[in-house]
Amino acid sequence: MQRDIFMFSNGTVKRKDNTIYLISEVDDKKRPLPIEQIENLHLFGEVNLNTTFLNYMGQKEVFIHCYNYYGFYTGSFVPRDQKVSGIVTVRQSEHYLNNEKRMILARAFVKAAAFHMIRFNRKKNNMHSEFVKEIMTLQKQIAQASDVQQLMGIEGMMRQHYYRTLNEMILPEFYFTERTKRPPRDPFNALISFGNTLMYTTVLSEMYKTQLNPTVSYLHEPSQKRFSLSLDIAEIFKPLFVDPLIVSLVNTKKIQPKHFEDHEGMVYLNEEGKKLFIAAFDKKLTDSIKHRQLKRNVTYRYFIRLECYKLIKHVIGDVSYKPLQAWW
């Protein structure tokens, strides 16, 4: 079974024959990496790579995701697209260029996000919150949004209220006043940013196993500098997967204030904190739920891929897209 490998050590990664090694900068020891078992390689340390290694990763279809010292995502090495489909790309583009078709998909992403925001509050017995009531009021406005800018405004206001509901669920030492991204100004914001980053790369990796073009998006504007469709799909899974995980980690004190550092007002997880978070994130991806249509257990990771398949069926005119709304 393939899995994600997370590397924090500084050093050099090289290939020799059919084996790859991490040569540590600290002790100069060679540590073999199980290439046949790697699906994604996440590099958090300062790692030197050569073209022989990258060619081998491309051949084995291993994705490499890079993060800077503070844990912020900087970019990915993506193997040559093996599942490219001209017709899917053309149909995706048609749905972007036609405002009515684009809005159908953009609204679907926001509706699913709102559903999971409310669902999480229901599970935490927090439906009495005034902020939840505000989310539910805004939720009714999604269908009336006539363009993406208006829809993004609704989504932004919902998310502001939603973050305030999270404050009602967590221990006092993690209270935060507002969502700050660039940079995060407190530990809870640092957790949200780090969790969203991991979700983004997870969605991207699953998307590349399908015929979707990750640069053609609907809620977020396509960009030359990012895989914006990953941001669209991640909206569904952040309140379903990332935020419940964060709340659980802080309330069970698996993540504590000691796991953060502050650099000139920017707060980020230290190495121990990153490792704890990643271990929990990776484990939750393997949790499975009985799928009502497939009649078998499906992991959270595979739910993400299923969302990609549903989008493909929608743009080619097979089945209308219905975003995931968790029933469990």
> Phi/psi class of residue 264: alpha, beta or left (left: φ > 0; alpha: ψ in -120 to 50)?
left
pTM of structure: 0.89
At 299-327, the pLDDT tens digits run: 999 999 999 999 999 999 999 999 999 99
At 257-278, the pLDDT tens digits run: 999 999 988 999 999 999 999 9
- Given this model, what pLDDT does residue 194 score? 97
Domain holding 10, by residue range, is 3-77
Q: Which of 50, 77, 104 is the last residue of a domain?
A: 77
Sequence-ordered alpha helix ranges (H) in the chain: 51-59, 86-97, 99-123, 130-139, 148-167, 187-207, 228-237, 243-251, 271-285, 300-315
Q: Which of 43, 77, 111 is the last residue of a domain?
A: 77
Domain tally, the chain: 2
- Same domain? For 97 and 245 the reply is yes
Least confident window among 43-47, 78-82, 128-132, 243-247:
78-82
Residues making up the binding site for Mn(2+): 155, 220, 235
Residue 54: CATH number of its domain: 3.100.10.20
Greater pLDDT, 82 or 218: 218
Q: Which of 77, 102, 130 is the last residue of a domain?
A: 77
- Same domain? For 216 and 291 the reply is yes
DSSP SS3 for 135: helix
DSSP SS3 for 210: coil
- Given this model, what pLDDT does residue 218 score? 97
Residues making up the binding site: 155, 220, 235
- Same domain? For 122 and 252 the reply is yes
- Same domain? For 15 and 156 the reply is no
- Same domain? For 128 and 233 the reply is yes
